[in-house]
Structure 1
């Protein structure tokens, strides 16, 4: 029996801009099951990153419902959403969002410390080792290459052993070689922790590694495709 980890029902997102109200997403109904890998593709401006932000609770739906691990994200305030992400989600962005004044080890350990893990630094070391960066643990982000910074971001996202991994164009700022390595690590971490992965990408070859691909167009789901052989 499949278990829904993420379930969106008629979810919509509108934002106020300089030119007035802009409708970003329209009545999205989508379910992502436990252990599934889902690729979100579509042209720029189609709403795929906004959809990922709704799943992460980083944007609040204008209407509709978003359930994650049985919890209603649309009914949570900002503090509750932050706690939920801390405990249950790992989020990886195109821009690495590392804290520049902290070492690689401190960047990975800090969320664990905030969550009350007494072994935060031990776990952080293990995760840096898992992404091949144990030798760079004491380096600051400015001393690391783009590929290395994204490896630190991956280690930080996976350190809490999240049930849900969300990645928004994780290879967008990397060259082909580093991008391929990051993708391999991302899928490897998903398998290691039996997590559910939702991946926003412009790359069709990367999307084809997922179990299922959802194509967005103009803020709506235009097509869904299930892959015969994922990863």
Structure 2
């Protein structure tokens, strides 16, 4: 049996707030297979984004284990986590998180350079071309539309050819047609690189495109289902 790419056992997340400690995730048990597409759904405040964040080591689980590609993310220090994400994960947020003083090409090439890729700019240009931005390589984020900025973010996430792609409401700031185009590109990048894709979404039609849907409620797994053929 092939080991899961992501495996959570009794994973918990609690954060300190002014009113005291807040329990966000309650003992999550979950396995996600290689090349699987998984949609995390549920009402606002159910813990979807928090679950995605602990999968990526962007939030550290306060209990249990979070295994990614055989590494326990709860045991890695911050520097080791950053190196692991740089090499193995691509993350796309609702807010694009582009560096405003860098061109589209530089935004995509920078993580590749940090990872030591000798062909960073060639790969960055190839990924930007793949998302339809070959004519925008030298433009800064302020010169790009929201949809174009999200395409740069997609290219940046995919350029290191990560084993795991995580996306948190990647179409949340975009209009309907632009959002649909972005999702087509995201699934296309997943298909092209064979990555495991986990995405948070409120859109039923987007979740239905995934191999599996996982619904959360009050920080617990509510339902797990296979997408309809």
Query: Partner of 2:64 in structure 1?
Result: 64
Query: Partner of 1:117 in structure 2?
Result: 117
SS of residue in 2 equivalent to 1:179? helix
Query: Partner of 2:149 in structure 1?
Result: 149
SS of residue in 2 equivalent to 1:39? strand
Give distance in 1, aligned partners of 2:62 and 2:162.
27
Query: Partner of 1:214 in structure 2?
Result: 214
SS of residue in 2 equivalent to 1:30? strand
Aligned pairs for 1:1-231 within 5 A: 1-229=1-229
Give distance in 2, aligned partners of 1:18 and 1:99.
32
- Give the TM-score normalised by the residue count of structure 1: 0.98
SS of residue in 1 equivalent to 2:5? strand
Q: How many Å apart are 1:227 and its aligned residue?
A: 1.5
In structure 1, stretches of 5+ residues that fail to align are none
Matched residues, number = 229
Give distance in 2, aligned partners of 1:228 and 1:206.
12
Give distance in 1, aligned partners of 2:213 and 2:13.
21
Structure 1 runs (4+) greater than 3 angstroms displaced: none
Kept in 1, the 8 Å contact 2:90–2:158? The answer is yes
Give distance in 1, aligned partners of 2:35 and 2:123.
23
1:8-51 superposed Cα distances (whole Å, 9 cap, x missing partner): 00000000112111000000000000010000000100000000
Give distance in 1, aligned partners of 2:17 and 2:42.
22
Give distance in 1, aligned partners of 2:61 and 2:124.
33
In structure 2, stretches of 5+ residues that fail to align are none
SS of residue in 1 equivalent to 2:95? coil
User: RMSD of aligned C-alpha atoms?
Assistant: 0.7
Kept in 1, the 8 Å contact 2:208–2:228? The answer is no
